[in-house]
Amino acid sequence: MAKIKYQTPSGMHDILSEDYAYYEKVYEIVNDIARFYGFGRIQTPVLEDAALFEKSTGATTDIVEKQMFTLKTKGGDELALRPEFTPGIARAYVQHGMLNMPQPVKLYTYGPLFRYEHPQAGRFRQFHQVDFEVFGEESPAIDAEIIQIFYAILKELKFSHLIIEVNSIGDSQCRPYYKKLLANYLRPRANSLCADCRRRMRQNPLRMLDCKEEKCQRIKAQAPQIIDHLCDSCKAHFKSLLEFLDEADLPYHLDPYLVRGLDYYTKTVFEIFSDRTVQVVDEQGEIVQRSALVGGGRYDNLLKILGGKEIAASGAAAGVERIMAIMKDRGTLAMEEAKPRVFLAQLGDLPKKKSLKILEEFRRAKISVAESLGRDSLRTQLGRADKLGAEYTIILGQKEVLENAVVVRKMETGEQETVKMENLVDELKKRLKR
């Protein structure tokens, strides 16, 4: 009988140790910047009510229509693996009464998300994002701060030639008029649109502006621009945002057709690209779109949609795998693996048993140590210490255990010295400091 071979599901992948350094580097920088800007960490469930995303993200969005992993529990509950972070964090803000906390409330998170879409370069069914959200502040200064935070994260990760694409999509006062204007423009050109955009034209014509099909791009290029039809309030908000970006020396480009693909956005929308942004490739190997590293904007109506009060909010998310792909493409490691400065070699059963206590003492003293507890040959262990680049090797044999001492060997010169066990940590600290 042939042996059954199990593999990861399509579009999902294991994170092996050589890749984990990249994730850790991204999250290390995210944590540092989040703390500096006063953001608190939140973690929402991987499973949420499917209706949460249908109501907030939008029933006609690609995420809800095509990409959600849904399931029905034995009790009849309709649940979905989270396809994005924002609705869940907004739900938590309402559910836990964060409106009663000092405003604004700043929250951030990172972790896995799930979307059922065709796996291709730069897109996975399980992927990771970094997400920052701010609730309870309507000033465009918060939009600018969110943009600056993600720009800073990418710069700390050694990204260069970043560009911020920014636009305003208005609000409930001015957007309905623009939608009618856009629908009137698209109607006589409907036969030239892709099938998705013909459907979008009836349900939400703004979604057509997010289409990446070439024939739709040509029609979009001549479409009326929403920025010409903003109400006074939205116009003032957008003008102020651009002034904040100018003062912060953040390089931006006004894209009058940027809308993002989610229904809850109001006013500010933005995306950040690198000149080395990963391209999405189709089955024929052709580039079909440029993928943003970061995307976000303002969503002042979302909390009300979820049953709360009308609370101003702004946020954004970054795709970790897309960031990692560029870091790898550059040919540089995200972080240098910490090389152990000390190697612990032991010979025999009793020294092995003593080694665990020594290792823990080194850990508490914050001295990086490598070991090979399964090996007996001193020659083999010294060879491993040399390969790892250890500066010192501690040799613990039967004789040393009985004398409550160790041999400290300087790897560069081969010089050896016997040191009492109780003085070992202090002695190594002195040597490593020198």
One domain, residues 160 and 272: yes
Is 265 annotated as belonging to a binding site? yes
One domain, residues 360 and 320: no
Does 221 fall in a domain?
no
- Choice between 299 and 305, residue whose per-residue pLDDT is larger: 299
- Identify the CATH number of the domain in which residue 76 sits: 3.30.930.10
One domain, residues 105 and 252: yes
Is 264 annotated as belonging to a binding site? yes
Does 220 fall in a domain?
no
Give φ, ψ of 160 to 5 degrees.
-125, 170
Q: How many CA atoms lie within 13 A of 363 on its CB side?
A: 8
Is 35 annotated as belonging to a binding site? no
- Choice between 232 and 3, residue whose per-residue pLDDT is larger: 232
Does 422 fall in a domain?
yes
Q: How many angstroms separate the CA atoms of 307 and 87, rounded?
A: 12
Is 222 annotated as belonging to a binding site? no
Q: How many angstroms separate the CA atoms of 45 and 81, rounded?
A: 9
Does 195 fall in a domain?
no
Does 201 fall in a domain?
no
Of 97-111, 161-175, 197-211, give the lowest mean pLDDT range.
197-211
Contacts of 115 (CB under 8 A, 6+ apart): 63, 67, 68, 69, 83, 125, 127
Number of structural domains in the chain = 2
pLDDT bracket for residue 11 (50, 70, 90)? confident
One domain, residues 319 and 346: no
Does 37 fall in a domain?
yes
One domain, residues 277 and 168: yes
Strand partners, 110: 130
The highest-confidence range among 25-29, 263-267, 329-333, 385-389, by mean pLDDT, is 25-29
Q: What is the pLDDT of residue 290?
A: 60
Is 86 annotated as belonging to a binding site? yes
Whether pLDDT at 204 is above 90: no
Whether pLDDT at 336 is above 60: no
Q: Which of 269, 304, 329 is the last residue of a domain?
A: 329
The predicted-structure confidence for 14-49, as pLDDT tens digits, reads as follows 989 888 889 999 999 999 999 999 999 999 999 999
Give φ, ψ of 271 to 5 degrees.
-140, 150
One domain, residues 54 and 106: yes
One domain, residues 322 and 351: no
Does 193 fall in a domain?
no
Does 213 fall in a domain?
no
Whether pLDDT at 113 is above 70: yes
Whether pLDDT at 256 is above 60: yes
Provide the residue range defining the domain that includes 314: 17-174+230-329
The predicted-structure confidence for 80-105, as pLDDT tens digits, reads as follows 999 999 999 999 999 999 999 999 99
One domain, residues 269 and 377: no
Is 392 annotated as belonging to a binding site? no
The highest-confidence range among 27-41, 171-185, 213-227, 322-336, by mean pLDDT, is 27-41
Is 22 annotated as belonging to a binding site? no
- Choice between 181 and 56, residue whose per-residue pLDDT is larger: 181
pLDDT bracket for residue 278 (50, 70, 90)? very low
Q: Which of 301, 329, 357 is the last residue of a domain?
A: 329
pLDDT bracket for residue 238 (50, 70, 90)? very high
pLDDT bracket for residue 59 (50, 70, 90)? low
One domain, residues 122 and 30: yes
Alpha-carbon distance values, 429 to 182, 311, 415 (Å): 70, 55, 18
Average pLDDT, the chain: 88
pLDDT bracket for residue 282 (50, 70, 90)? very low
One-letter amino acid at 427 equals E
Q: How many angstroms separate the CA atoms of 397 and 48, rounded?
A: 57
CA Rg, the chain, in Å?
28
One domain, residues 272 and 377: no
One domain, residues 94 and 170: yes
One domain, residues 352 and 415: yes
